[in-house]
Structure 1
Amino acid sequence: MKVRQLDLSLLDPDPEHPRQRMDPDELERLKWSVVQFGILQPIIVFVAGTRFTIVEGHRRCEAASLAELREVPAIVLAERPDAHTLLLTQLHANSMRSDLRPTELATAYKRLQDLNNRSVTELAAAMHISKGTATQYLSLLSLSEEVLAMVDDGRLARSTAYAICRETDADKRQAMIRKAGARRLRRDDAAREVSRKVPSHVRSVFPLASGEVVLLTPAEPEIAECVTILQAVITECRRATRNGLSLQTLLHAMRDRRDG
Protein backbone atom coordinates (compact mmCIF):
# COMPACT_ATOMS: atom_id res chain seq x y z
CA MET A 1 0.00 0.00 0.00
CA LYS A 2 1.16 3.52 -0.77
CA VAL A 3 2.20 5.74 2.15
CA ARG A 4 0.88 9.31 2.17
CA GLN A 5 1.77 12.33 4.27
CA LEU A 6 -1.33 13.55 6.11
CA ASP A 7 -1.85 16.78 8.00
CA LEU A 8 -2.38 16.13 11.72
CA SER A 9 -5.31 18.55 11.75
CA LEU A 10 -7.25 16.16 9.48
CA LEU A 11 -6.90 13.15 11.78
CA ASP A 12 -9.47 12.02 14.34
CA PRO A 13 -8.99 9.29 16.95
CA ASP A 14 -11.25 6.23 16.88
CA PRO A 15 -13.53 6.65 19.93
CA GLU A 16 -13.83 2.86 20.25
CA HIS A 17 -10.09 2.16 20.16
CA PRO A 18 -9.06 -0.31 22.90
CA ARG A 19 -6.61 2.20 24.38
CA GLN A 20 -8.49 4.56 26.66
CA ARG A 21 -5.56 6.27 28.38
CA MET A 22 -2.05 7.31 27.36
CA ASP A 23 0.78 7.28 29.86
CA PRO A 24 2.29 10.82 30.00
CA ASP A 25 5.83 9.54 30.63
CA GLU A 26 5.67 7.13 27.70
CA LEU A 27 4.32 9.91 25.48
CA GLU A 28 7.19 12.17 26.51
CA ARG A 29 9.74 9.49 25.62
CA LEU A 30 8.00 8.84 22.31
CA LYS A 31 7.95 12.58 21.57
CA TRP A 32 11.72 12.82 21.86
CA SER A 33 12.10 9.73 19.69
CA VAL A 34 9.94 11.45 17.07
CA VAL A 35 11.99 14.65 17.36
CA GLN A 36 15.21 12.71 16.82
CA PHE A 37 14.18 10.07 14.28
CA GLY A 38 10.74 11.08 12.98
CA ILE A 39 7.79 8.67 12.59
CA LEU A 40 9.45 5.38 11.67
CA GLN A 41 6.26 3.37 11.12
CA PRO A 42 3.27 4.78 9.20
CA ILE A 43 -0.04 5.01 11.00
CA ILE A 44 -3.17 3.40 9.51
CA VAL A 45 -6.29 5.48 8.85
CA PHE A 46 -9.52 5.22 6.88
CA VAL A 47 -11.35 7.91 4.90
CA ALA A 48 -14.22 9.56 6.80
CA GLY A 49 -15.72 12.20 4.52
CA THR A 50 -13.14 14.97 4.18
CA ARG A 51 -11.21 13.73 7.20
CA PHE A 52 -9.45 10.55 8.34
CA THR A 53 -10.04 8.32 11.36
CA ILE A 54 -7.06 6.62 12.97
CA VAL A 55 -7.17 2.84 13.02
CA GLU A 56 -3.70 2.28 14.46
CA GLY A 57 -1.10 4.81 15.58
CA HIS A 58 -2.87 7.00 18.14
CA ARG A 59 0.23 7.41 20.33
CA ARG A 60 2.44 8.27 17.37
CA CYS A 61 -0.01 10.99 16.35
CA GLU A 62 -0.11 12.41 19.86
CA ALA A 63 3.68 12.33 20.09
CA ALA A 64 3.96 14.01 16.69
CA SER A 65 1.63 16.76 17.89
CA LEU A 66 3.74 17.25 21.04
CA ALA A 67 6.84 17.39 18.83
CA GLU A 68 5.06 20.10 16.79
CA LEU A 69 5.11 18.15 13.54
CA ARG A 70 2.53 19.12 10.93
CA GLU A 71 2.30 15.82 9.05
CA VAL A 72 2.65 12.09 9.67
CA PRO A 73 3.12 9.18 7.24
CA ALA A 74 -0.04 7.13 6.85
CA ILE A 75 -1.48 4.15 5.04
CA VAL A 76 -4.99 5.16 3.95
CA LEU A 77 -7.83 2.64 3.73
CA ALA A 78 -10.61 3.54 1.31
CA GLU A 79 -13.35 2.87 3.85
CA ARG A 80 -13.92 1.98 7.47
CA PRO A 81 -13.28 -1.74 8.10
CA ASP A 82 -16.15 -3.72 9.59
CA ALA A 83 -16.27 -3.63 13.40
CA HIS A 84 -14.77 -7.10 13.78
CA THR A 85 -11.81 -6.47 11.43
CA LEU A 86 -11.18 -3.01 12.91
CA LEU A 87 -11.04 -4.22 16.50
CA LEU A 88 -8.97 -7.29 15.60
CA THR A 89 -6.44 -5.10 13.75
CA GLN A 90 -6.14 -2.70 16.67
CA LEU A 91 -5.78 -5.49 19.20
CA HIS A 92 -3.07 -7.32 17.26
CA ALA A 93 -1.16 -4.11 16.53
CA ASN A 94 -1.11 -3.11 20.19
CA SER A 95 -0.58 -6.57 21.67
CA MET A 96 2.57 -6.98 19.57
CA ARG A 97 4.04 -4.07 21.55
CA SER A 98 2.35 -4.87 24.88
CA ASP A 99 0.89 -1.36 24.77
CA LEU A 100 -2.53 -1.93 26.30
CA ARG A 101 -3.30 -2.11 29.98
CA PRO A 102 -4.81 -5.39 31.21
CA THR A 103 -8.24 -3.82 31.71
CA GLU A 104 -8.17 -2.30 28.21
CA LEU A 105 -7.33 -5.71 26.78
CA ALA A 106 -10.08 -7.33 28.85
CA THR A 107 -12.69 -4.84 27.61
CA ALA A 108 -11.53 -5.22 24.01
CA TYR A 109 -11.56 -9.02 24.21
CA LYS A 110 -15.12 -8.88 25.54
CA ARG A 111 -16.18 -6.59 22.68
CA LEU A 112 -14.55 -8.91 20.15
CA GLN A 113 -16.26 -11.91 21.73
CA ASP A 114 -19.67 -10.20 21.63
CA LEU A 115 -19.32 -8.96 18.03
CA ASN A 116 -19.49 -12.47 16.57
CA ASN A 117 -20.94 -14.25 19.61
CA ARG A 118 -17.66 -16.12 20.01
CA SER A 119 -16.94 -18.76 22.61
CA VAL A 120 -13.85 -18.31 24.78
CA THR A 121 -12.13 -20.98 22.69
CA GLU A 122 -12.89 -19.09 19.46
CA LEU A 123 -11.76 -15.79 20.99
CA ALA A 124 -8.46 -17.37 22.06
CA ALA A 125 -7.91 -18.75 18.55
CA ALA A 126 -8.62 -15.36 16.95
CA MET A 127 -6.09 -13.64 19.22
CA HIS A 128 -3.53 -16.50 19.15
CA ILE A 129 -3.56 -16.83 22.93
CA SER A 130 -4.38 -19.77 25.17
CA LYS A 131 -7.93 -20.35 26.35
CA GLY A 132 -6.68 -19.91 29.93
CA THR A 133 -5.26 -16.47 29.12
CA ALA A 134 -8.52 -15.42 27.46
CA THR A 135 -10.49 -16.65 30.47
CA GLN A 136 -8.25 -14.71 32.86
CA TYR A 137 -8.67 -11.47 30.94
CA LEU A 138 -12.45 -11.80 30.65
CA SER A 139 -12.72 -12.59 34.36
CA LEU A 140 -11.15 -9.22 35.21
CA LEU A 141 -14.36 -7.50 34.14
CA SER A 142 -16.13 -8.87 37.22
CA LEU A 143 -13.73 -7.09 39.60
CA SER A 144 -14.14 -3.70 41.24
CA GLU A 145 -12.43 -0.53 39.98
CA GLU A 146 -10.15 -0.69 43.03
CA VAL A 147 -8.81 -4.11 42.07
CA LEU A 148 -8.59 -3.27 38.37
CA ALA A 149 -6.43 -0.25 39.21
CA MET A 150 -4.06 -2.54 41.13
CA VAL A 151 -3.83 -4.85 38.11
CA ASP A 152 -3.18 -1.98 35.70
CA ASP A 153 -0.42 -0.38 37.73
CA GLY A 154 1.33 -3.68 38.41
CA ARG A 155 0.53 -4.05 42.11
CA LEU A 156 -1.52 -7.18 41.44
CA ALA A 157 -0.66 -9.89 38.93
CA ARG A 158 -3.38 -10.87 36.47
CA SER A 159 -3.18 -14.49 37.62
CA THR A 160 -3.71 -13.41 41.24
CA ALA A 161 -6.68 -11.27 40.21
CA TYR A 162 -8.12 -14.32 38.44
CA ALA A 163 -7.83 -16.33 41.65
CA ILE A 164 -9.74 -13.57 43.46
CA CYS A 165 -12.45 -13.75 40.76
CA ARG A 166 -12.97 -17.42 41.50
CA GLU A 167 -13.73 -16.76 45.18
CA THR A 168 -17.53 -16.79 45.50
CA ASP A 169 -17.73 -15.82 49.18
CA ALA A 170 -17.99 -12.01 49.30
CA ASP A 171 -16.28 -11.65 52.69
CA LYS A 172 -13.39 -13.89 51.72
CA ARG A 173 -13.01 -12.06 48.44
CA GLN A 174 -12.77 -8.71 50.25
CA ALA A 175 -10.18 -10.18 52.62
CA MET A 176 -8.13 -11.32 49.63
CA ILE A 177 -8.42 -7.85 48.06
CA ARG A 178 -7.21 -6.21 51.29
CA LYS A 179 -4.22 -8.55 51.38
CA ALA A 180 -3.51 -7.78 47.74
CA GLY A 181 -3.63 -4.04 48.44
CA ALA A 182 -1.10 -4.50 51.22
CA ARG A 183 1.04 -6.64 48.89
CA ARG A 184 0.54 -9.65 51.17
CA LEU A 185 -1.28 -11.85 48.67
CA ARG A 186 0.73 -13.91 46.22
CA ARG A 187 -0.71 -15.84 43.29
CA ASP A 188 -0.02 -19.26 44.82
CA ASP A 189 -1.57 -18.22 48.14
CA ALA A 190 -4.69 -16.93 46.38
CA ALA A 191 -4.98 -20.09 44.29
CA ARG A 192 -4.66 -22.27 47.40
CA GLU A 193 -7.38 -20.28 49.18
CA VAL A 194 -9.81 -20.90 46.33
CA SER A 195 -8.76 -24.49 45.58
CA ARG A 196 -9.74 -25.58 49.09
CA LYS A 197 -13.37 -25.52 48.05
CA VAL A 198 -13.22 -25.69 44.25
CA PRO A 199 -13.40 -29.30 42.97
CA SER A 200 -10.49 -30.49 40.84
CA HIS A 201 -12.90 -31.48 38.06
CA VAL A 202 -16.31 -30.39 36.86
CA ARG A 203 -18.82 -33.23 36.45
CA SER A 204 -21.25 -32.80 33.54
CA VAL A 205 -24.05 -35.39 33.39
CA PHE A 206 -26.01 -35.95 30.16
CA PRO A 207 -29.20 -37.91 31.02
CA LEU A 208 -30.38 -40.12 28.16
CA ALA A 209 -33.30 -42.53 27.83
CA SER A 210 -30.93 -45.51 27.88
CA GLY A 211 -28.54 -44.25 30.56
CA GLU A 212 -26.24 -41.34 31.42
CA VAL A 213 -23.05 -39.93 29.91
CA VAL A 214 -20.71 -38.28 32.42
CA LEU A 215 -17.85 -35.94 31.48
CA LEU A 216 -15.13 -34.94 33.96
CA THR A 217 -13.24 -31.84 32.84
CA PRO A 218 -10.81 -29.43 34.58
CA ALA A 219 -13.28 -26.56 34.09
CA GLU A 220 -16.88 -26.20 32.99
CA PRO A 221 -16.83 -27.13 29.29
CA GLU A 222 -18.48 -25.28 26.47
CA ILE A 223 -20.90 -27.16 24.21
CA ALA A 224 -18.31 -27.29 21.41
CA GLU A 225 -15.82 -28.95 23.76
CA CYS A 226 -18.42 -31.54 24.78
CA VAL A 227 -19.05 -32.32 21.12
CA THR A 228 -15.31 -32.77 20.50
CA ILE A 229 -14.91 -35.11 23.49
CA LEU A 230 -17.98 -37.19 22.65
CA GLN A 231 -16.97 -37.47 19.00
CA ALA A 232 -13.56 -38.77 20.09
CA VAL A 233 -15.26 -41.39 22.29
CA ILE A 234 -17.51 -42.49 19.40
CA THR A 235 -14.48 -42.80 17.12
CA GLU A 236 -12.66 -44.96 19.69
CA CYS A 237 -15.72 -47.19 20.20
CA ARG A 238 -16.20 -47.71 16.47
CA ARG A 239 -12.54 -48.64 16.06
CA ALA A 240 -12.78 -51.08 18.97
CA THR A 241 -15.88 -52.68 17.43
CA ARG A 242 -14.09 -53.21 14.12
CA ASN A 243 -11.15 -54.81 15.95
CA GLY A 244 -13.36 -56.99 18.14
CA LEU A 245 -12.22 -55.43 21.43
CA SER A 246 -14.23 -55.55 24.65
CA LEU A 247 -15.19 -52.36 26.48
CA GLN A 248 -12.73 -53.00 29.31
CA THR A 249 -9.89 -53.61 26.85
CA LEU A 250 -10.73 -50.35 25.09
CA LEU A 251 -10.82 -48.41 28.37
CA HIS A 252 -7.46 -49.84 29.47
CA ALA A 253 -5.93 -48.99 26.09
CA MET A 254 -7.24 -45.42 26.22
CA ARG A 255 -5.92 -44.92 29.78
CA ASP A 256 -2.51 -46.26 28.76
CA ARG A 257 -2.34 -43.81 25.85
CA ARG A 258 -3.40 -40.91 28.04
CA ASP A 259 -0.97 -41.68 30.87
CA GLY A 260 1.87 -42.98 28.76
Structure 2
Amino acid sequence: MTKNAFKKPKAPSMGTLLSRSLEFSGAPLPQDVEVGEVQHLPINVLQPNPRQPRRFFNEERLRALAESIREEGVLQPLMVRPLEGGQFEIVYGERRWRAAQLAGLPSVPARVRTLTDAQVELLAAIENLQREDLNRYDEVSYKLRLVAALFQTTPEEAIQRLRELRNQPESDPEQVNQLEHLFTQLGREKWPSFVTNGLPALRLPEALVEAVQTGKLEYTKALLIARAPQEHHTALLKWVLEEELSHAALTDVVAQLKPTPRSDADAQLLSLRRKISPRRLGKLPREQRVEAEKLIRRLHELLGD
Protein backbone atom coordinates (compact mmCIF):
# COMPACT_ATOMS: atom_id res chain seq x y z
CA MET A 1 0.00 0.00 0.00
CA THR A 2 1.41 3.41 -0.89
CA LYS A 3 1.98 6.03 1.75
CA ASN A 4 -1.00 8.27 2.50
CA ALA A 5 -3.20 6.17 0.21
CA PHE A 6 -6.22 6.93 2.36
CA LYS A 7 -5.68 10.64 2.93
CA LYS A 8 -8.18 13.16 1.58
CA PRO A 9 -9.72 11.28 -1.38
CA LYS A 10 -10.40 13.49 -4.37
CA ALA A 11 -13.24 11.38 -5.75
CA PRO A 12 -16.71 12.93 -6.13
CA SER A 13 -18.70 12.93 -2.89
CA MET A 14 -20.33 9.55 -2.36
CA GLY A 15 -23.20 11.36 -0.74
CA THR A 16 -23.79 13.27 -3.98
CA LEU A 17 -23.57 10.07 -5.99
CA LEU A 18 -26.10 8.25 -3.86
CA SER A 19 -28.53 11.14 -3.43
CA ARG A 20 -28.89 11.36 -7.20
CA SER A 21 -28.65 7.63 -7.89
CA LEU A 22 -32.30 7.28 -8.84
CA GLU A 23 -31.57 9.09 -12.10
CA PHE A 24 -31.33 6.33 -14.68
CA SER A 25 -31.24 3.95 -11.66
CA GLY A 26 -27.55 4.76 -11.29
CA ALA A 27 -25.04 7.34 -10.17
CA PRO A 28 -24.21 10.63 -11.85
CA LEU A 29 -20.93 10.49 -13.70
CA PRO A 30 -18.23 13.02 -14.66
CA GLN A 31 -19.16 15.62 -17.26
CA ASP A 32 -17.21 13.91 -20.03
CA VAL A 33 -19.44 10.83 -19.91
CA GLU A 34 -21.81 10.68 -22.86
CA VAL A 35 -25.41 9.82 -22.02
CA GLY A 36 -27.33 8.21 -24.86
CA GLU A 37 -31.02 8.26 -25.56
CA VAL A 38 -33.06 5.11 -25.01
CA GLN A 39 -32.73 2.78 -27.99
CA HIS A 40 -33.69 -0.81 -28.67
CA LEU A 41 -30.70 -3.14 -28.97
CA PRO A 42 -30.88 -6.74 -30.24
CA ILE A 43 -30.70 -9.31 -27.45
CA ASN A 44 -27.72 -11.05 -29.05
CA VAL A 45 -25.43 -8.00 -29.05
CA LEU A 46 -25.57 -7.72 -25.24
CA GLN A 47 -23.36 -9.61 -22.82
CA PRO A 48 -23.16 -9.71 -18.99
CA ASN A 49 -20.55 -7.82 -17.02
CA PRO A 50 -17.89 -10.46 -16.12
CA ARG A 51 -17.00 -8.52 -12.96
CA GLN A 52 -20.57 -8.62 -11.70
CA PRO A 53 -20.69 -10.46 -8.34
CA ARG A 54 -24.42 -11.18 -8.78
CA ARG A 55 -24.15 -14.48 -10.64
CA PHE A 56 -27.24 -16.30 -9.37
CA PHE A 57 -30.81 -15.50 -10.33
CA ASN A 58 -33.90 -17.03 -8.77
CA GLU A 59 -35.44 -19.10 -11.57
CA GLU A 60 -39.01 -18.78 -10.30
CA ARG A 61 -38.79 -15.00 -10.05
CA LEU A 62 -37.06 -14.84 -13.42
CA ARG A 63 -39.92 -16.75 -15.06
CA ALA A 64 -42.44 -14.46 -13.35
CA LEU A 65 -40.61 -11.41 -14.69
CA ALA A 66 -40.50 -12.99 -18.15
CA GLU A 67 -44.28 -13.43 -18.06
CA SER A 68 -44.71 -9.78 -17.07
CA ILE A 69 -42.38 -8.73 -19.89
CA ARG A 70 -44.43 -10.72 -22.41
CA GLU A 71 -47.47 -8.68 -21.43
CA GLU A 72 -46.00 -5.22 -20.83
CA GLY A 73 -42.48 -5.29 -22.27
CA VAL A 74 -39.31 -4.12 -20.50
CA LEU A 75 -40.43 -1.03 -18.62
CA GLN A 76 -37.04 0.17 -17.34
CA PRO A 77 -34.15 0.53 -19.81
CA LEU A 78 -30.90 -1.31 -19.23
CA MET A 79 -27.61 0.54 -18.93
CA VAL A 80 -24.89 -0.70 -21.31
CA ARG A 81 -21.52 0.41 -22.58
CA PRO A 82 -20.14 -0.16 -26.09
CA LEU A 83 -17.52 -2.83 -26.78
CA GLU A 84 -15.59 -3.68 -29.92
CA GLY A 85 -17.31 -5.50 -32.77
CA GLY A 86 -20.72 -3.95 -32.24
CA GLN A 87 -21.23 -5.66 -28.87
CA PHE A 88 -22.37 -4.07 -25.62
CA GLU A 89 -21.63 -4.91 -21.99
CA ILE A 90 -24.49 -4.75 -19.51
CA VAL A 91 -23.71 -2.29 -16.71
CA TYR A 92 -26.97 -3.12 -14.93
CA GLY A 93 -30.21 -4.78 -15.93
CA GLU A 94 -28.87 -8.31 -16.50
CA ARG A 95 -31.95 -9.79 -14.81
CA ARG A 96 -34.24 -7.93 -17.21
CA TRP A 97 -32.09 -9.07 -20.14
CA ARG A 98 -32.30 -12.72 -19.05
CA ALA A 99 -36.07 -12.46 -18.54
CA ALA A 100 -36.47 -10.82 -21.94
CA GLN A 101 -34.66 -13.79 -23.48
CA LEU A 102 -37.08 -16.18 -21.74
CA ALA A 103 -39.96 -14.06 -22.99
CA GLY A 104 -38.67 -14.36 -26.57
CA LEU A 105 -38.12 -10.64 -27.14
CA PRO A 106 -35.80 -9.80 -30.05
CA SER A 107 -34.55 -6.57 -28.43
CA VAL A 108 -34.57 -4.57 -25.19
CA PRO A 109 -34.54 -0.82 -24.43
CA ALA A 110 -31.16 0.46 -23.26
CA ARG A 111 -29.15 3.59 -22.66
CA VAL A 112 -25.61 3.53 -24.01
CA ARG A 113 -22.85 5.21 -22.02
CA THR A 114 -19.11 5.33 -22.55
CA LEU A 115 -17.77 4.21 -19.18
CA THR A 116 -14.52 3.18 -17.55
CA ASP A 117 -14.28 -0.10 -15.61
CA ALA A 118 -14.32 1.88 -12.35
CA GLN A 119 -17.48 3.75 -13.36
CA VAL A 120 -19.15 0.48 -14.39
CA GLU A 121 -18.46 -1.06 -10.98
CA LEU A 122 -19.76 2.02 -9.16
CA LEU A 123 -22.97 2.20 -11.19
CA ALA A 124 -23.62 -1.54 -10.88
CA ALA A 125 -23.06 -1.44 -7.13
CA ILE A 126 -25.45 1.46 -6.54
CA GLU A 127 -28.16 0.06 -8.81
CA ASN A 128 -28.00 -3.42 -7.33
CA LEU A 129 -28.11 -2.14 -3.75
CA GLN A 130 -31.56 -0.77 -4.54
CA ARG A 131 -32.86 -4.30 -5.15
CA GLU A 132 -35.18 -5.74 -2.51
CA ASP A 133 -34.15 -9.37 -3.10
CA LEU A 134 -30.40 -8.81 -2.76
CA ASN A 135 -28.73 -11.51 -0.67
CA ARG A 136 -26.37 -10.62 2.15
CA TYR A 137 -23.17 -11.78 0.40
CA ASP A 138 -23.78 -9.62 -2.67
CA GLU A 139 -24.96 -6.72 -0.51
CA VAL A 140 -21.67 -6.76 1.40
CA SER A 141 -19.70 -7.01 -1.85
CA TYR A 142 -21.45 -3.99 -3.36
CA LYS A 143 -21.16 -1.89 -0.21
CA LEU A 144 -17.46 -2.66 -0.04
CA ARG A 145 -17.10 -1.45 -3.64
CA LEU A 146 -18.66 1.86 -2.66
CA VAL A 147 -16.34 2.20 0.32
CA ALA A 148 -13.36 1.43 -1.92
CA ALA A 149 -14.53 4.08 -4.39
CA LEU A 150 -14.99 6.56 -1.54
CA PHE A 151 -11.44 5.96 -0.32
CA GLN A 152 -10.05 5.61 -3.86
CA THR A 153 -8.43 2.29 -3.09
CA THR A 154 -8.93 -1.44 -3.65
CA PRO A 155 -11.59 -3.50 -1.83
CA GLU A 156 -8.83 -5.39 -0.01
CA GLU A 157 -7.26 -2.18 1.27
CA ALA A 158 -10.71 -0.79 2.09
CA ILE A 159 -11.32 -3.78 4.38
CA GLN A 160 -8.09 -3.07 6.21
CA ARG A 161 -8.94 0.63 6.52
CA LEU A 162 -12.45 -0.10 7.80
CA ARG A 163 -11.03 -2.27 10.57
CA GLU A 164 -8.49 0.38 11.48
CA LEU A 165 -11.19 3.04 11.71
CA ARG A 166 -13.45 0.80 13.75
CA ASN A 167 -10.65 0.24 16.27
CA GLN A 168 -9.41 3.86 16.24
CA PRO A 169 -12.12 6.17 14.88
CA GLU A 170 -10.30 9.18 16.30
CA SER A 171 -7.41 8.57 13.87
CA ASP A 172 -9.33 10.13 10.97
CA PRO A 173 -12.59 11.92 11.88
CA GLU A 174 -13.04 13.07 8.26
CA GLN A 175 -13.18 9.54 6.90
CA VAL A 176 -15.44 8.46 9.75
CA ASN A 177 -17.86 11.24 8.80
CA GLN A 178 -17.74 10.12 5.15
CA LEU A 179 -18.56 6.57 6.18
CA GLU A 180 -21.40 7.66 8.43
CA HIS A 181 -22.90 9.75 5.62
CA LEU A 182 -22.55 6.90 3.10
CA PHE A 183 -24.15 4.27 5.33
CA THR A 184 -26.91 6.65 6.41
CA GLN A 185 -27.98 6.91 2.78
CA LEU A 186 -27.61 3.18 2.21
CA GLY A 187 -29.76 2.46 5.27
CA ARG A 188 -30.20 -0.82 7.17
CA GLU A 189 -26.95 -0.69 9.15
CA LYS A 190 -24.23 1.59 10.44
CA TRP A 191 -20.70 1.21 9.19
CA PRO A 192 -19.21 -0.30 12.42
CA SER A 193 -21.90 -2.99 12.27
CA PHE A 194 -21.02 -3.59 8.61
CA VAL A 195 -17.40 -4.18 9.61
CA THR A 196 -18.34 -6.57 12.42
CA ASN A 197 -21.33 -8.39 10.97
CA GLY A 198 -21.02 -7.84 7.22
CA LEU A 199 -17.40 -8.38 6.22
CA PRO A 200 -17.34 -11.98 7.56
CA ALA A 201 -19.61 -12.85 4.62
CA LEU A 202 -16.63 -12.45 2.31
CA ARG A 203 -14.73 -15.21 4.16
CA LEU A 204 -17.45 -17.84 3.78
CA PRO A 205 -16.48 -21.08 1.99
CA GLU A 206 -17.56 -21.22 -1.65
CA ALA A 207 -20.32 -23.80 -1.08
CA LEU A 208 -21.91 -21.62 1.59
CA VAL A 209 -21.61 -18.51 -0.59
CA GLU A 210 -23.44 -20.28 -3.41
CA ALA A 211 -26.21 -21.41 -1.05
CA VAL A 212 -26.63 -17.86 0.25
CA GLN A 213 -26.60 -16.31 -3.23
CA THR A 214 -29.21 -18.73 -4.55
CA GLY A 215 -31.46 -17.99 -1.59
CA LYS A 216 -31.35 -21.55 -0.25
CA LEU A 217 -29.51 -20.67 2.96
CA GLU A 218 -29.98 -17.77 5.35
CA TYR A 219 -26.86 -15.71 5.89
CA THR A 220 -26.96 -16.12 9.69
CA LYS A 221 -27.07 -19.90 9.30
CA ALA A 222 -24.17 -19.77 6.86
CA LEU A 223 -22.10 -17.97 9.50
CA LEU A 224 -22.98 -20.66 12.05
CA ILE A 225 -21.95 -23.47 9.70
CA ALA A 226 -18.70 -21.64 8.93
CA ARG A 227 -17.85 -21.63 12.65
CA ALA A 228 -18.04 -25.42 12.78
CA PRO A 229 -14.95 -27.53 12.01
CA GLN A 230 -14.41 -27.52 8.24
CA GLU A 231 -14.86 -31.28 7.86
CA HIS A 232 -18.50 -30.92 8.99
CA HIS A 233 -19.50 -28.12 6.60
CA THR A 234 -20.85 -30.33 3.80
CA ALA A 235 -22.95 -32.50 6.11
CA LEU A 236 -24.28 -29.50 8.03
CA LEU A 237 -25.26 -27.68 4.85
CA LYS A 238 -27.11 -30.73 3.54
CA TRP A 239 -28.83 -31.24 6.88
CA VAL A 240 -29.95 -27.61 7.16
CA LEU A 241 -31.31 -27.57 3.59
CA GLU A 242 -33.11 -30.91 3.85
CA GLU A 243 -34.45 -30.65 7.42
CA GLU A 244 -34.91 -26.86 7.53
CA LEU A 245 -33.21 -26.62 10.92
CA SER A 246 -34.05 -23.54 12.94
CA HIS A 247 -31.31 -21.10 13.90
CA ALA A 248 -31.51 -22.26 17.53
CA ALA A 249 -31.28 -25.96 16.59
CA LEU A 250 -28.31 -25.32 14.31
CA THR A 251 -26.59 -23.35 17.07
CA ASP A 252 -26.94 -26.34 19.44
CA VAL A 253 -25.61 -28.77 16.82
CA VAL A 254 -22.57 -26.62 15.98
CA ALA A 255 -21.76 -26.14 19.67
CA GLN A 256 -21.47 -29.92 20.12
CA LEU A 257 -19.24 -30.53 17.11
CA LYS A 258 -15.53 -31.04 17.58
CA PRO A 259 -12.73 -31.41 15.01
CA THR A 260 -12.15 -34.97 13.82
CA PRO A 261 -9.17 -36.38 15.73
CA ARG A 262 -6.02 -36.44 13.64
CA SER A 263 -3.96 -39.58 13.19
CA ASP A 264 -0.36 -39.57 14.40
CA ALA A 265 0.78 -39.21 10.79
CA ASP A 266 -1.49 -36.19 10.27
CA ALA A 267 -0.24 -34.57 13.46
CA GLN A 268 3.39 -35.17 12.50
CA LEU A 269 2.82 -33.79 9.00
CA LEU A 270 1.19 -30.66 10.41
CA SER A 271 4.09 -30.19 12.80
CA LEU A 272 6.60 -30.71 9.96
CA ARG A 273 4.89 -28.10 7.78
CA ARG A 274 5.30 -25.55 10.56
CA LYS A 275 8.99 -26.33 10.99
CA ILE A 276 10.18 -26.42 7.36
CA SER A 277 11.29 -23.03 6.08
CA PRO A 278 14.39 -21.77 4.23
CA ARG A 279 15.26 -19.65 7.25
CA ARG A 280 15.10 -22.56 9.69
CA LEU A 281 17.00 -24.88 7.34
CA GLY A 282 19.69 -22.23 6.95
CA LYS A 283 20.35 -22.29 10.70
CA LEU A 284 21.11 -26.03 10.73
CA PRO A 285 24.72 -27.30 10.78
CA ARG A 286 25.94 -28.12 7.26
CA GLU A 287 25.65 -31.91 7.59
CA GLN A 288 22.13 -31.73 9.03
CA ARG A 289 21.06 -29.24 6.35
CA VAL A 290 22.34 -31.50 3.55
CA GLU A 291 20.53 -34.48 5.07
CA ALA A 292 17.30 -32.47 5.46
CA GLU A 293 17.46 -31.29 1.84
CA LYS A 294 17.88 -34.91 0.68
CA LEU A 295 14.81 -35.95 2.68
CA ILE A 296 12.77 -33.06 1.24
CA ARG A 297 13.74 -34.05 -2.33
CA ARG A 298 12.85 -37.69 -1.61
CA LEU A 299 9.50 -36.69 -0.16
CA HIS A 300 8.83 -34.56 -3.23
CA GLU A 301 9.60 -37.55 -5.49
CA LEU A 302 7.26 -39.81 -3.53
CA LEU A 303 4.36 -37.35 -3.59
CA GLY A 304 4.82 -36.43 -7.24
CA ASP A 305 3.93 -33.06 -8.81
User: Which TM-score applies when normalising by structure 1?
Assistant: 0.57
Q: Distance in 1 between matches of 2:100 and 2:217?
A: 33
Matched, 1:24 2:59: yes
Q: Distance in 1 between matches of 2:244 and 2:221?
A: 11
Matches within 5 A, 1:25-104: 25-49=60-84, 50-77=86-113, 79-83=114-118, 85-104=119-138
User: Do 1:155 and 1:183's aligned partners in 2 also have CA atoms closer than 8 Å?
Assistant: no
Matched, 1:186 2:247: yes
Q: Distance in 2 between matches of 1:23 and 1:154?
A: 8
How many residue pairs match? The answer is 189
Can you list the C-alpha shifts for 1:109-159, whole angstroms capped at 9, x where unaligned? 455546263333766754624221354232012222344355445565434
Q: Distance in 1 between matches of 2:179 and 2:221?
A: 22
Partner of 1:130: 190
Partner of 2:139: 105
User: Do 1:159 and 1:187's aligned partners in 2 also have CA atoms closer than 8 Å?
Assistant: no
User: Do 1:157 and 1:187's aligned partners in 2 also have CA atoms closer than 8 Å?
Assistant: no
Matches within 5 A, 1:113-124: 113=148, 115=154, 117-118=157-158, 119-120=161-162
Amino acid at match of 2:96: R
Q: Where in structure 2 are there 5+ consecutive unaligned residues?
A: 1-34, 167-177, 256-305
Amino acid at match of 1:22: F
Amino acid at match of 1:35: R
**Structure 1 pair 32/134, CA: closer, same or farther in 2 (3 Å)?**
farther
Q: Please, which moves more after superposition, 109-118 or 86-95?
A: 109-118
Q: Distance in 1 between matches of 2:43 and 2:109?
A: 10
Amino acid at match of 1:96: Q
Amino acid at match of 2:132: S
What is the root-mean-square deviation in Å for CA atoms of aligned residues? 3.7
Matched, 1:158 2:194: no
How far 1:74 moved relative to its partner? 0.9
Q: Distance in 2 between matches of 1:124 and 1:146?
A: 33
Q: Please, which moves more after superposition, 95-104 or 63-72?
A: 95-104
Amino acid at match of 1:13: P
Partner of 2:41: 6
**Structure 1 pair 68/145, CA: closer, same or farther in 2 (3 Å)?**
same
Matches within 5 A, 1:218-237: none
Identity %: 27
User: Do 2:137 and 2:213's aligned partners in 1 also have CA atoms closer than 8 Å?
Assistant: yes
User: Do 2:77 and 2:108's aligned partners in 1 also have CA atoms closer than 8 Å?
Assistant: yes
- SS in structure 1 opposite 2:132? coil
User: Which TM-score applies when normalising by structure 2?
Assistant: 0.50
Q: Distance in 2 between matches of 1:8 and 1:89?
A: 21
Partner of 1:217: none
Which gives a bigger RCO, structure 1 or 2 (Cα 8 Å, sep 6+)?
2
How far 1:26 moved relative to its partner? 1.7
Amino acid at match of 1:137: G
Q: Where in structure 1 are there 5+ consecutive unaligned residues?
A: 195-260
User: Do 1:109 and 1:138's aligned partners in 2 also have CA atoms closer than 8 Å?
Assistant: no
**Structure 1 pair 187/151, CA: closer, same or farther in 2 (3 Å)?**
farther
